[in-house]
């Protein structure tokens, strides 16, 4: 059973690997390309907290810090939106975050931070210009755009190839791990492909991504745990339902 992975290429490989282990046929079809900004300068001393909302934010911050500054990250209070991001913080900076919410959404992250933070605390958020505003609007936070998500070249042309690849499949699944991956994807979906998709399955990593997909008239399936491992369980249940 073919499963389309729309996340950026460098983050799609891990998902592809676990799908192959379960005998699925993954198709890596990135609708986002990550570009890191390595020319930024920040003063970590101005912040008591660092909030990471994606593994890319962790990598992006690491790219712009000196070796001494990287060591200073350990002295900050750190919040991470989910398990994958937390593990990346530990891997790169040698410290597991102080806060990781049970539900991997910005709303739950904000709720947990408010339980621990003081009103005068300042927050650094290494992120992308396409990030949601919930943290900035509710905390004394500075957003630093350490990376950006851009549309890959030839996405429109590649969409035609993907449609032809999926035409003769009995059933297929398309996965989305962010709202922007979905927006870029549906931008180039023609009427014929749209009907094909509606007759098959979409799996969204969580409710925020699902809301974006619903704007295109499709209700995706959502895992209980908002990770690629959670998505895998949903994908396996779809295969069982179809006896494939």
pLDDT at 62: 96
Q: Which residues contact 140 (CB under 8 A, 6 or more apart)?
A: 120, 121, 122, 123
- Grade residue 10 by pLDDT with cuts at 50, 70 and 90: confident
pLDDT in tens, 157-200: 999 999 999 999 999 999 999 999 999 999 999 999 999 999 99
pLDDT of 75 > 90? The answer is yes
Q: How far apart are CA 173 and CA 215, in angstroms?
A: 19
Q: How far is CA 72 from the centre of its chain?
A: 27
> Stretch 117-130: mean pLDDT, rounded?
93
pTM: 0.82
| Domains in the chain with CATH codes | 2-32+151-242 (3.40.50.10090), 34-149 (3.40.50.10090)
Q: Map tokens 């619903």 to a residue.
A: 214
Burial class (CB in 10 A: 0-12, 13-18, 19+), 225: middle
Pairing type for strands 123-127 and 49-52 reads: parallel
b or e along 161-190 (b: 16 or more beta carbons within 10 Å of the residue's beta carbon)? ebbeebeeeebbbbbbbbbbbbbbbbebbe
pLDDT at 243: 85
pLDDT of 132 > 90? The answer is no
Which tokens in the block code for residue 237?
A: 């249940």
């Amino acid at each position: 059973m073919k499963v389309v992975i729309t996340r950026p290429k460098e983050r799609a490989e891990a998902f592809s690997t676990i799908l192959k282990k379960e005998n699925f046929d993954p198709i890596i079809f990135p609708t986002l390309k990550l570009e890191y900004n390595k020319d930024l300068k920040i003063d970590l001393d101005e912040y008591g907290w660092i909030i990471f909302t994606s593994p890319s934010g962790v990598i992006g911050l690491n790219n712009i810090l000196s070796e001494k500054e990287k060591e200073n990250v350990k002295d900050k209070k750190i919040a991470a939106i989910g398990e994958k991001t937390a593990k990346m913080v530990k891997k790169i900076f040698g410290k597991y975050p102080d806060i990781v919410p049970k539900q991997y959404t910005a709303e739950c992250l904000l709720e947990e931070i408010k339980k621990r933070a003081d009103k005068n605390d300042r927050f650094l958020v290494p992120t992308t210009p396409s990030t949601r505003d919930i943290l900035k609007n509710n905390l004394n936070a500075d957003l630093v755009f350490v990376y950006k998500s851009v549309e890959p070249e030839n996405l429109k042309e590649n969409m035609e190839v993907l449609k032809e690849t999926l035409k003769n499949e009995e059933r297929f699944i398309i996965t989305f791990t962010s709202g922007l991956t979905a927006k870029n994807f549906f931008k180039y979906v023609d009427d014929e492909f749209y009907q094909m998709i509606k007759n098959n399955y979409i799996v969204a990593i969580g409710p925020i991504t699902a809301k974006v997909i619903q704007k295109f008239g499709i209700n995706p399936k959502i895992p209980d745990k908002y990770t690629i491992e959670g998505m895998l369980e949903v994908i396996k249940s779809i295969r069982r339902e179809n006896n494939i």
